[in-house]
Amino acid sequence: MVLGSFASFAVTQRLKHTPTIVQDIEMSASFTPGSRTHNAVERISFKIAHTDRVRVTVIDSQDNTVRTLARDSELAAYKRAYFYWNGHEARGRHAPGGTYRVRIELLGQKREVLSPAAFELVGQ
């Protein structure tokens, strides 16, 4: 039993020091498309732990894809990547006001990460 506890402690410690696959996701809490302020578009940025191709999508509160910001972009490990959303759906219409999140798919690793925080689209 002691040996099992020691082994699980060692695994836990290793996982604590293993970098997450997507790191340091940054975006504003809200934005108003078309406004003349600094937050007229949503700026989304993050880093990835290993060089890979990514697909970046904006999703609504029902997990529906609203807009694809990148389909197959090659990103270097630990280099901050920036993507911008103007508040339009894929067909060019204004997306309705509401809560949105970002889905980041690592195509080479066949893994995906959903942004832990959401943002509000205001004033559409």
Q: pLDDT (tens digit, 9 = 90+) per residue, 22-76?
A: 999 999 999 888 776 666 789 999 999 999 999 999 999 999 999 999 999 999 9
Domains of the chain: 20-121 (2.60.40.10)
Q: Is the pLDDT score of 86 beyond 70?
A: yes
CA distance 7 to 123: 53
In which band, very low, low, confident or very high, does the pLDDT at 17 lie, cut at 50, 70 and 90?
Answer: very low
Q: Is the pLDDT score of 6 beyond 80?
A: no
The residue-averaged pLDDT of 80-100 equals: 93
The confidence score (pLDDT) of residue 83 equals: 97
Torsional class of 98: left (φ above 0), alpha (ψ -120 to 50), beta (otherwise): left
Report the DSSP pairing between strands 65-75 and 81-85.
Answer: unpaired
In which band, very low, low, confident or very high, does the pLDDT at 16 lie, cut at 50, 70 and 90?
Answer: very low
The confidence score (pLDDT) of residue 37 equals: 65
Q: pLDDT (tens digit, 9 = 90+) per residue, 98-117?
A: 999 999 999 999 999 999 99
